[in-house]
A and B are shown apart, each in its own frame.
Chain A
Amino acid sequence: MSELEIKHLSKSFKDHKVLDDISLSVNKGDIYGILGLSGAGKSTLVRCINGLENFDNGEIYFKNQLIANKTLPVNNVYRRKITMIFQSFNLLEQRDVLGNVLFALEIIKAKDKEKKALEALNKVGLIDKIHNYPSELSGGQKQRVAIARALVLEPDILLSDEATSSLDPDTTSSILELLKKLNEEYGLTIIMISHQINVIESICNKVAILDNSKIVEEGEMSDVFLNPKTKIAKDLIYSDHVKTMLDDKKMIRFLFNGNLDEPLIANIVEDCNILVSIVYADTKVIDGKVYGQVVIKLPSSKKEVDVLEKYLKLHKINFEEVNK
């Protein structure tokens, strides 16, 4: 069942169209990535989903029920089912950690506030910091407080607006790990807005690529990332680094989405007796699984290329040729 469905959403600021006929469908349990460069319209889209912004055309459905169109913005009931975390954390500086989580419950005048807040803080691993103030926390800890504050409203969907963009790589991984855990353990649907390819790549199962106010590609993560069709998608997926290094030789690209636990490159060398050189690699290990991408330069002899391709197909390894 679709958890959130956006149909033909459009929005303009004066003459400038920021969102142009956006349609996408997020299922329960998805971690849905929305990838795009800055200015592509990502933030406006997420603000429309949360009702912070009105739009000119289209509809938003939540669990197949219409919750917003051009005349009716998302109301408070649904805002609390679709909660948000932000790039700048947006914590109340004058309240301690517990107070920040309680804030969400005060807004809805909930019962058993303290108990619920402590449960949420326990989920994000901050139970020993409840009386600290934001100024005493690291960036990662601040984002955990923000996540707890979003969770305490018991949302169905968590909207993450560049939530890891101001964090260092290690902290980013730990926040992504936490989001993944919340997704797996509590079935939380997550919509991740990011301009960072590795963030989307490491936890999303679906992705939409937004460029110039339009969705240019959309689908299962592996489909889109292994076979990008549009120029912008290719640009995003193969970093500039790779583009400049492409020459007339063939190159292929592997995407690791956590399903491989063998040393791939070593196996190619060992089993096929082919020497390959790595042109570009960007992988990381999360929960003992490898995520990321590797681009290798193929050997020059035709025979060796055939052997390698056969080998990869036999082992059901996703790969694609990198074109200029």
Chain B
Amino acid sequence: MNFETLLIPTLETILMTIISTLLAYIVGVPLGVILSITSKNGLKENKWINLPLGLFVNIMRSVPCLLLMIILLPLTRSIFLKGTGAWYTMIIPLFFASFGFVARIVEESLNEVDSGVIEMARSMGASTTQIIYKVLFKEAKPSLITGLAVSTISILGYTAFAYDFGAGGLIASAYSFYTNYTGNYLSYPNVWIILLVIILIVQLIQEIAILISKKVDKRRKAK
């Protein structure tokens, strides 16, 4: 195994993860906000929005990832002119498989904001938009950052399905090594190096998120 045969699948995995996470957040954050503020005793309580939206998000989350990907093949094909065979074809199914999860993670973070603070902002006549940007996002920032790490790591896990679509990435690379050296594939370093790279990526995401989250959090700052 040379540097290049490791680097390319690593980059594929990282790109799939980052771009899908980004898209999942573009859709998941507004959904999370709507879920949070329309919930019972929320800023804009509305069960006619909350219940259907919550149901939709739950359905998206309960469809097995691989099944969702199969169903989405025509959509992927219509966008990229092919449904399988390249790392970027994974972006669409990964995005669909994860935005519901992201919406719930964001909702959780926003629900942690003290209702008294929201009441205070309302008592001053703050608009809903002002409360979302100046109170909810700002007060939930540390939790939103650690939530981003949880989402990214879970999407990274989904990238394993890229193997099933010939879309590359680290896990596919490990599997193809297995098919070539079935009898004694574990006695070569290749699979172990791939495992190490994945552990490193996950650790890096987690630790950086914790570091930034602590840095921005003013609640436990010692004097």
Segment of B7-15, B55-63, B135-143 in the binding face: B135-143
Judge whether A96 and B218 touch: CB under 8 Å: yes
Judge whether A90 and B223 touch: CB under 8 Å: no
A79-B126 Cα distance, complex, nearest whole Å? 10
**Chain B 190-223 residues near chain A, CB threshold 8 A:** 216-221, 223
Digitize A86-108: 1 where CB-to-B-CB distance is under 8 Å, 0 elsewhere: 10101111111000000110111
**Chain B 80-138 residues near chain A, CB threshold 8 A:** 114, 116-117, 119-126, 130, 134-135, 138
Judge whether A83 and B119 touch: CB under 8 Å: no
Judge whether A103 and B134 touch: CB under 8 Å: yes
In the complex, how many angstroms separate the beta carbon of A187 from the nearest chain B beta carbon? 21
User: Given A106-B134, A107-B130, A136-B223, do A94 and B123 touch, yes or no (CB 8 Å)?
Assistant: no
Judge whether B123 and A52 touch: CB under 8 Å: yes
Given B119, B123, B138, which contacts A79 in the complex, CB threshold below 8 Å? B123
How many chain B residues sit at the interface, stated as a range, is: 20 to 34
Judge whether B138 and A94 touch: CB under 8 Å: yes
Nearest-CB residue, chain A, relative to B223: A136
Judge whether B219 and A107 touch: CB under 8 Å: no
In the assembled complex, which residues on chain B have CB atoms less than 8 Å from the CB atom of A94?
A: 138-139, 141-142, 216-219
Nearest-CB residue, chain B, relative to A84: B123
User: Would you call A133 an interface residue if the criterion is a C-beta within 8 Å of the partner chain's C-beta atoms?
Assistant: yes
In the assembled complex, which residues on chain B have CB atoms less than 8 Å from the CB atom of A107?
A: 121, 124-126, 130, 134
In the assembled complex, which residues on chain A have CB atoms less than 8 Å from the CB atom of B120?
A: 84, 86, 90
Judge whether B218 and A93 touch: CB under 8 Å: yes
A183-B134 Cα distance, complex, nearest whole Å? 31
Digitize B40-57: 1 where CB-to-A-CB distance is under 8 Å, 0 elsewhere: 000000000000000000
A263-B139 Cα distance, complex, nearest whole Å? 53
Judge whether A136 and B125 touch: CB under 8 Å: no
A84-B135 Cα distance, complex, nearest whole Å? 17
User: Given A76-B125, A86-B120, A104-B124, do A93 and B223 touch, yes or no (CB 8 Å)?
Assistant: no
Judge whether B119 and A80 touch: CB under 8 Å: no
Given B116, B139, B218, which contacts A133 in the complex, CB threshold below 8 Å? B218
User: Would you call A135 an interface residue if the criterion is a C-beta within 8 Å of the partner chain's C-beta atoms?
Assistant: yes
In the assembled complex, which residues on chain B have CB atoms less than 8 Å from the CB atom of A164?
A: none
User: Would you call A202 an interface residue if the criterion is a C-beta within 8 Å of the partner chain's C-beta atoms?
Assistant: no
Judge whether A88 and B116 touch: CB under 8 Å: yes
A132-B221 Cα distance, complex, nearest whole Å? 10
Judge whether A83 and B117 touch: CB under 8 Å: no
User: Would you call A50 an interface residue if the criterion is a C-beta within 8 Å of the partner chain's C-beta atoms?
Assistant: yes
A92-B126 Cα distance, complex, nearest whole Å? 14
**Chain A 94-136 residues near chain B, CB threshold 8 A:** 94-96, 103-104, 106-108, 132-136
Digitize A43-87: 1 where CB-to-B-CB distance is under 8 Å, 0 elsewhere: 000000011100000000000000000000001110110011010
In the complex, how many angstroms separate the beta carbon of B42 from the nearest chain A beta carbon? 14
Judge whether A92 and B125 touch: CB under 8 Å: no
A103-B223 Cα distance, complex, nearest whole Å? 23
User: Given A106-B134, A136-B221, do A91 and B123 touch, yes or no (CB 8 Å)?
Assistant: no
User: Would you call A233 an interface residue if the criterion is a C-beta within 8 Å of the partner chain's C-beta atoms?
Assistant: no
**Chain B 172-186 residues near chain A, CB threshold 8 A:** none
A135-B142 Cα distance, complex, nearest whole Å? 15
User: Would you call A4 an interface residue if the criterion is a C-beta within 8 Å of the partner chain's C-beta atoms?
Assistant: no
In the assembled complex, which residues on chain B have CB atoms less than 8 Å from the CB atom of A153?
A: 124
A140-B182 Cα distance, complex, nearest whole Å? 71
Given B116, B141, B216, which contacts A86 in the complex, CB threshold below 8 Å? B116
Given A80, A92, A132, A135, which contacts B135 in the complex, CB threshold below 8 Å? A92
**Chain A 186-242 residues near chain B, CB threshold 8 A:** none
Judge whether B219 and A50 touch: CB under 8 Å: no
A15-B26 Cα distance, complex, nearest whole Å? 44
Most buried by A among B116, B117, B139, B216: B117
Given contacts A80-B124, A94-B218, A106-B130, 5 further A-B contacts (CB under 8 A): A92-B135, A93-B219, A94-B219, A95-B138, A96-B218
Binding site for A on B (CB under 8 A): 114, 116-117, 119-126, 130, 134-135, 138-139, 141-142, 216-221, 223
Binding site for B on A (CB under 8 A): 50-52, 75-77, 79-80, 83-84, 86, 88, 90-96, 103-104, 106-108, 132-136, 153
Interface pairs (25), CB distance under 8 Å: A52-B119, A79-B123, A79-B125, A88-B116, A90-B114, A90-B116, A90-B117, A90-B120, A92-B117, A92-B135, A94-B138, A95-B218, A96-B218, A103-B134, A104-B124, A106-B130, A107-B121, A107-B124, A107-B125, A107-B126, A107-B134, A133-B219, A134-B218, A135-B218, A135-B220
